[in-house]
Structure 1
């Protein structure tokens, strides 16, 4: 039960003090108006009855982020934790000095607008929104806030994504730039099988069955603070991808190339089971693949990122008759909807081509053809 006490000072100033008990301790809060004090008293009593009471706290948003990250660290991969850490740090620069219990929907929407004004994409802003919403959901569970303001905040609309691809007529020209390069095999695996760069780096020779011409994608390879480590694929699932005779030829060339350099480097050659390696046998890391790719690709392909090789593979498969479910399985998407959203432009072009093909059944001249009805 809370009480309201009126306090009058010699100066004539009046204060209404609300007192209540919390966890066996006396709490109090002063108001300059009787109405505000009585409203607060009713609110305190109601929240204590229905179990929604939140103890007043001056904890700042940035302090809560630190607490939340500490709580989440054991359940996150190093890569994900690093992403969460940098994301909360960026948000903390704008809303970090606000008291957690005073954080409003307006504060959050202003944060998103500021991030957008600084050049952050709509997709990245939505990622920030998901992290903030998730962190405040935990604060709500811990009775640190009475409601989650991120639930009501309007996120920035996602940017409409259109994958950049290599035109089919330019594929051979594109490949010519990588002839003899260390990453040539890696480029083939991404361009013709749709493998992500970390999947390419994690691929081992025992994952390849030359008899059935099937590659099994089991893991990704990463490097941080001087150590290599494996993680599951992005979808957390193993997938099998058939490969062409052309890819088989390139993989066998890689075997012969590695044998040549193993002989050249002799005892200093690093022996391992990875498919994509440096001349001395040391396995690739994803960052090296991207960096090397950027330095080698020709000027005509300036806008094509390494990840766009995966988009090119998917688009080429769709154009050559593969159904979207098959392409989704090859790419390792967790949902066929994701595949449809990313490659909507290719699917729309295919629909147009299919419809245009029906013109062959129509009279192209202005003359109307009369058909006799058979009885």
Structure 2
């Protein structure tokens, strides 16, 4: 507290504590294994799409808009050209009406091609594909599954697996973290996730697990710490 010269006013400097950074939830390796086992035990189109998102890091809108024509089993790639979201209709904002829209991805970098592992390719081959135009999540050409429905389904899956405090975006964070743990080159990971810069990947999606932190600390013992 200090008095301003020439008057009776006082200046008070108040320092507020910085808001604690909220730790991002990722699946542990045990939780991930439990979820994968659950999805594979009774695999349908929605569960396959959930598994596909976990193993590729797709955003929820991207997996909802994904059609089988976007997946090339020969090239072992998936092309991300669209995203799905529910938006408020501009014509009638008073009634707060919304509609599901399929449009361009989040940014220019979000339109991308992602290599697929043999593991996910093998399961792609096991799925019934009635038409290349069919949505991955439904197996139908006309009927889609919107993000909030998929979020509801995922919450049900997680509950049945005994996994708490997660949402669909947890899968994307988990994918990014696993990639870091196995030593992905950061530029490659950034492009796979569809980020505009590597900084976005580092700041938002890289969450070293306690196991990885412990392994890194254990390396100090090798040099006498």
TM-score scaled to structure 2, two decimals?
0.73
Alignment of 1:136-175 (within 5 A): 160-175=21-36
Structure 1: gaps (5+ residues): 1-155, 263-270, 365-375
8 Å CA contact retained: 2:57, 2:173: yes
Partner of 2:78: 215
Offset at residue 161 of structure 1 (A): 3.8
1:316-366 deviations in Å (ceiling 9; x for gaps): 01001112222211111122112111245418975763463353465x9xx
- Quick one: distance in 1 between partners of 2:50 and 2:190? 20
- Quick one: distance in 1 between partners of 2:191 and 2:78? 13
8 Å CA contact retained: 1:195, 1:310: yes
Alignment of 1:1-375 (within 5 A): 160-178=21-39, 179-223=42-86, 228-237=100-109, 238-254=111-127, 256=128, 258-259=129-130, 272-277=133-138, 282-297=143-158, 298=160, 300-343=162-205, 345-346=207-208, 350=212, 353-354=215-216, 356-357=218-219, 359-360=221-222
8 Å CA contact retained: 1:204, 1:275: yes
TM-score scaled to structure 1, two decimals?
0.46
Q: Please say which structure displays the higher CA radius of gyration.
A: 1
- Quick one: distance in 2 between partners of 1:251 and 1:318? 25
- Quick one: distance in 2 between partners of 1:354 and 1:198? 35
Partner SS state of residue 114, structure 2: strand
Structure 2: gaps (5+ residues): 1-16, 88-96
Larger fraction in helix: 1
Greater length-normalized contact order (CA 8 Å, ≥ 6 residues apart)? 2
Q: How many residues align?
A: 196
Which segments of structure 1 move beyond 6 Å, counting only runs of 4 or more? none
C-alpha RMSD of the superposition:
3.1
8 Å CA contact retained: 1:186, 1:276: yes
- Quick one: distance in 2 between partners of 1:311 and 1:358? 28
Partner SS state of residue 346, structure 1: coil
8 Å CA contact retained: 2:177, 2:206: no
Change in Cα spacing, 1:301 to 1:239, as seen in structure 2 (3 Å) is same
8 Å CA contact retained: 1:278, 1:284: no
